[in-house]
Structure 1
Amino acid sequence: MLSELTANAVADSLSRRETRPFAEVERAALERPAAIDALEVLKPSERVKVIAEIKRSSPSRGALAQIADPAALARSYELGGASAISVLTEGRRFGGSLADLEAVRAAVALPVLRKDFIATPYQVLEARAAGADLVLLIVAALDDATLRELFDLIVELGMTPLVETHSAEELDRTAALGARLIGVNARDLSTFELDRDLFGRLADRFPADAIKVAESAVLSAADVAHYRAAGADVVLVGEALVTGDPIENLRAFLAV
């Protein structure tokens, strides 16, 4: 499934490239105002921090919410106390788009993450051109050379890579990059099964200076507390926010 999602995301980016060439996107990316320093915003504090996600659907859960106005939802997240906004821009299985990211960027003052299946420099440039401050890199989808190339490009453009892992081996690969913002996704992107305890088993392998992000399996304040007790500095939450009251749920999560 991960290979399919990545291949499709790359194919869609190639289609966009036919009408918006590499040089044009690169120019737009370089003309953008400086990205927000997400490492400063998400640094460890006395309270857990939340990256709130805008997600219409997923392969594992199907349709979640229509989200006709992603900018309005992002403003609700900001009001509820989120530290950053994640925008799923994959269109085939998640119902997102770069237009969603652009709308969110224009609506909030928080750092914005492009969450997609990123595998090419063109996709990274698209992210910056659309106003992203962070870009997701999924270690399981990339070989070491590509991972390094994309990581370095994200940093060169002034953005922050959120490097997602699913195993001890992937965490070690991520540490070798010098990554400062590292996530552990409880969802296996091959089987889509959840393992909420994976983060806790891997927490000791994070580099000492890394910000620890727990991803997936966050449906309640108890889930946030579980991750916080295991050492998470940040939790990334999508489904619980798009299917419930976003402000109420955020405030409950942040009270942990």
Structure 2
Amino acid sequence: MLDSLVAGALADASERRAIRSLADVESAALARPAALDALAQLAPSDRVKIIAEVKRSSPSRGALAEIPDPAALALAYETGGASVISVLTEGRKFGGSLADLEAVRAAVSLPVLRKDFVAEPYQVFEARAAGADLVLLIVAALETPLLTELYDLINQLGMTALVETHTADELDRAIDLGAQLVGVNARNLSTFELDQNLFGTLADRIPAGVIRVAESAVKTPADVAHYRAAGADVVLIGEALVTGDPVATLTEFLGS
């Protein structure tokens, strides 16, 4: 599944590049105001931080929510106390787009994450050109030389990489990279199976000073509390927010 998602994302990026050249996108990225400081926004505190996701659908669950106005949803997330807004920009399986990210960026004052299957520099420049402050890098999808290249480019553009892992080996690669924001995804992107305890088994491998993000398998405040007790500084939540009242749900989760 992961290989298919990456291949599709690269094919779609190739189509966009045929319309808008790398040089044009790079120029637009460099002309953007400085990216917001996501690390400061997500720094550990006495309560959990939440990355709230604009997510219409997923390969595992199908359609979740129509979200006709991503900007309005993002504003609700900001009102509800989210620290960062994540926007799915993958179109084939998640129903997202860069237009969603641009709309969200224009509406909120929080840092915005481009969540996609990023596997080439063009997509990183696209992210900054659209206003992203963070870019997701999935270690399982990238060989080390490419992972390093993309990580360095994200930093050069003033953004922050959320480096996502699923295994101890991937976590070691993220740490070797120097990542300051490391995610552990409970969902195996090859099988789409969930293991909510995975974060707890890997958290101690994450060095002090690195922000720990727990991803997936969150439905209730108890799930957020579970991750918090296991050492999560931040929890990334999508489905539970788009399928309910976002402000009320965030308020409950932040009280966990």
TM-score range, shorter chain: over 0.9
Partner Cα separation in structure 2 for residue 35 and residue 100 of structure 1: 18
Q: Give the aligned partner of residue 233 of structure 2.
A: 233
Q: Percent identity?
A: 73
Partner Cα separation in structure 1 for residue 34 and residue 184 of structure 2: 28
Q: Give the aligned partner of residue 146 of structure 2.
A: 146
Q: Secondary structure at the match of 2:46?
A: coil
Partner Cα separation in structure 2 for residue 99 and residue 138 of structure 1: 22
Partner Cα separation in structure 1 for residue 210 and residue 223 of structure 2: 22
Q: What is the 5 A alignment of 1:98-109?
A: 98-109=98-109
Q: What is the 5 A alignment of 1:1-256?
A: 1-256=1-256
Residue type of the partner of 1:139? V
For residue 129 of structure 1, report the CA deviation from its aligned partner.
0.1
Give TM-score scaled by structure 1 length: 1.00
Structure 2: stretches of 5+ with no match in the other structure? none
Partner Cα separation in structure 2 for residue 30 and residue 218 of structure 1: 36
Q: Secondary structure at the match of 1:154?
A: helix
For residue 207 of structure 1, report the CA deviation from its aligned partner.
1.7
Could you list the structure 1 runs, at least 4 aligned residues long, displaced by more than 3 angstroms after superposition: none
Partner Cα separation in structure 1 for residue 174 and residue 196 of structure 2: 21
Residue type of the partner of 2:121? P
Partner Cα separation in structure 2 for residue 192 and residue 148 of structure 1: 26
Partner Cα separation in structure 1 for residue 118 and residue 251 of structure 2: 31
For residue 90 of structure 1, report the CA deviation from its aligned partner.
0.1
For residue 209 of structure 1, report the CA deviation from its aligned partner.
1.4
Backbone CA RMSD of aligned residues: 0.3
Give TM-score scaled by structure 2 length: 1.00
Partner Cα separation in structure 1 for residue 80 and residue 205 of structure 2: 32
Partner Cα separation in structure 2 for residue 148 and residue 33 of structure 1: 25
Partner Cα separation in structure 1 for residue 56 and residue 144 of structure 2: 31
